[in-house]
Amino acid sequence: MSKPVEGQQQFKKKLNPMDVWAIAFGCIIGWGAFINPGEKFLPNSGVLGTAIAIAIGALIMIIISISYAYMIRKHPKAGGEFIFAKMCFGRIPAYICGWFLIAAYLSNVPLNSTALGLVIDGLAPNALHFGFSYTIAGNTIHLGEILLACGVLILFAVINMLGTKKAGIVQTILAVLLGSTVIVLVIAAIASPLTSWSNLGNLWGYFKLPDDPKLGGVGIASAIFATLAIAPWAFVGFETIPQAAEEFKFSFKKVTIIMIIAILFGTFVYIANNTITALVIKNWPEYIAEGGRWPLLYAAQQILGKTAGSIIVGVSVLSAILSGIMGFYMASSRLIFSMGREGYLPKRFGTVDKKHSVPQFAILFCLIISLVGPFLGRNALSWFVDMASIGTSIGFGFTCLAAFITMRKDKDVNIFMKILTLLGFTFALVFIVIQLVPTGLGVNFSTPSYIIFAVWIMLGAGFFLWQTLAKKRNEKNASEVVEEKPQVEENKE
């Protein structure tokens, strides 16, 4: 087990199991869990196809989480996958892992902030459409949306800077609100006379044929696979847990169950939102095909009334978005801090504020980068997120392979655990391939995403070279100082 080196910047142990669960759950569930029933899940896979696909995706993530829990116990340091890669594979693989994870985590902060405008627009249309406006990548951006997103980004950065415990309390409140409001929706749907099994229609979904206005059925296999192809990324966020490992004030043995519970809660939210929508809205295929906006909100308004339904869904989705901002702020800043502390980024990033025991400089850097996002708009940001999502797959792969190597070296687990790590590594490779190679599954990069991916690789290579040369210069200067010191003393004699 790796231990902090004496003299390194240290955190205080402030996070309890509930806080850590809230970080993972809040990062897993975002805006997509509430809008995708109408945009992807029901049209492509129906109720049963979506439920099966999401359940399989959850199982894959649980398999991968086993490797994470094992490696956290072995190397409980901020940085997570980056540290695992460094300990098992060396400097360059660790940098590759960390560089892509920065993109994966940090891009989700501004993306979540831009979703706030979509929520407000769904609840109160055009409320933020004031001031100047412009269009980027087909998305019209208004001053009101920019002000709201930037204000929330600043607020949550400040909360993070005030200390881990305060951030953990806010995150826990948001996660509890998110989970409880979805439970309220489920109970209301069960009790409502509008809910009917006959509304489900084709359990495997429908699609609108390009040259035919009629709705056609989807085959069972294609229905399941349509959502299964994106299901793994629906659970991205549970792996943020190891980034704050140095701040846990509980046994690392609890990490496995915390991760699994977070994944299961995420599974519940995805399936519940999708099923409620179909059970309540009569002829939902026609409603969606005709452009019905946000069918889950419409379903909630039907069973609870317009005001109460809007409040419950509004609180739920806002909690999901805000907890995502908070969670990815924490993950991004701890990863950047760790890379600074280990010498992969400028040392200033690897410092901890003495009063609040948080990496304030890293958090401030995350804020400055994130504030650019609202000005670019959600469509342009989606290119970055498409590219960055491969970072989580790279993190999965490094972690699972590192776990396998560590298990073989330490000989402290059975063969079944080793098989799970190799299975997790295989899944990670599959995720990378279907993102990079056009397969027609709807998850590979768009052209702008390929370009941004290439640019990010070049930036990473250039920055690594610059850091390496700077490190060598510093070491050379230090050795020259040491050599000159005896001469100075000799001259004094």
Q: What residues contact residue 332 under an 8 Å CB cut-off, 6+ apart?
A: 102, 105, 106, 109, 362, 366
Average pLDDT of span 466-476: 79
Among 31-45, 159-173, 454-468, 473-487, where is mean pLDDT lowest? 473-487
Residue 218 has a pLDDT of: 58
How far apart CA 262 and CA 350 sit, in angstroms, is: 29
Q: What is the pLDDT of residue 486?
A: 57
Residue 487 confidence class, pLDDT cut points 50, 70, 90: low
Amino acid identity, residue 468?
A: T
Domain 17-445: CATH class, spelled out: mainly alpha
pLDDT at 482 > cutoff 90: no
User: How many other β-carbons are positioned within 10 Å of the β-carbon of residue 487?
Assistant: 9
Work out the average pLDDT over 419-425.
Answer: 96
Summarize the confidence of residues 334-340 as an average pLDDT: 95
Nearest to 75 by CA among 236, 255, 238, 237: 255
In three-state form (DSSP H/G/I as H, E/B as E, the rest C), the secondary structure along the chain is CCCCCCCCCCCCCCECHHHHHHHHHHHHCCCHHHHHHHHHHHHHHHHHHHHHHHHHHHHHHHHHHHHHHHHHHHCCCCCCHHHHHHHHHCHHHHHHHHHHHHHHHHHHHHHHHHHHHHHHHHHCCCCCCCCCEEEECCEEEEHHHHHHHHHHHHHHHHHHHCCHHHHHHHHHHHHHHHHHHHHHHHHHHHHCCCCCHHHHCCCCCEEECCCCCCEEECCHHHHHHHHHCCHHHHCCCHHHHHHHHHHECCCHHHHHHHHHHHHHHHHHHHHHHHHHHHHHCCCHHHHHHCCCCCHHHHHHHHHHCHHHHHHHHHHHHHHHHHHHHHHHHHHHHHHHHHHHHCCCCCHHHHCCCCCCCCCHHHHHHHHHHHCCHHHHCHHHHHHHHHHHHHHHHHHHHHHHHHHHHHHHHHCCCCHHHHHHHHHHHHHHHHHHHHHHCCCCCCCCCCHHHHHHHHHHHHHHHHHHHHHHHHHHHHHHHHHHHHHHHHHHHHHHC
* Mean pLDDT confidence for 276-292: 88
- Per-residue tokens: 429: 């490779």
pLDDT at 44 over 90: no
Burial of 379 (0-12, 13-18, 19+ CB in 10 A): middle
Tokens in use for 384? 């970055």
**Is pLDDT at 9 greater than 70 in this prediction?**
no
The DSSP bridge partners found for residue 140 are 135
Q: Check if the beta carbon of residue 350 is closer than 8 Å to that of residue 340.
A: yes
How far apart CA 327 and CA 335 sit, in angstroms, is 12
Q: What is the pLDDT of residues 189-247, one digit of tens each?
A: 999 999 999 888 778 887 543 444 445 555 788 888 888 888 778 898 899 999 999 99
Q: Is the pLDDT of residue 4 over 50?
A: no
Residues 133-160 have pLDDT tens digits of: 999 988 899 999 999 999 999 999 999 9
Q: How confident is residue 272, by pLDDT bands cut at 50, 70 and 90?
A: very high
Residue 59 has pLDDT above 50, yes or no: yes
The confidence score (pLDDT) of residue 216 equals: 55
Average pLDDT for residues 107-119, to the nearest whole number? 93
Under 8 Å between Cβ of 179 and 25? yes
pLDDT value at 425 more than 50: yes
Per-residue pLDDT averaged across 46-60, rounded? 94
pLDDT digits (tens, 9 = 90+) for 351-396: 999 888 999 999 999 999 999 999 999 888 888 877 777 889 999 9
pLDDT at position 290 is 82
Look at residue 293 and tell me whether its pLDDT is greater than 80: no
Angle between helices 378-410 and 81-89 (to 10 degrees): 40
pTM of this structure: 0.90
The pair of three-digit structure tokens given for residue 47, joined into one six-digit string: 């109720």
Mean pLDDT, the chain, whole residue set? 88
Distance CA 436, CA 443 (A): 9
What percent of the chain has pLDDT above 70?
92
pLDDT for the residue numbered 351: 93
Listed residue (27, 29, 111) closest to 381, CA to CA: 111
**Nearby residues of 322 by Cβ (< 8 Å), 6 or more positions away:** 112, 152, 156, 174
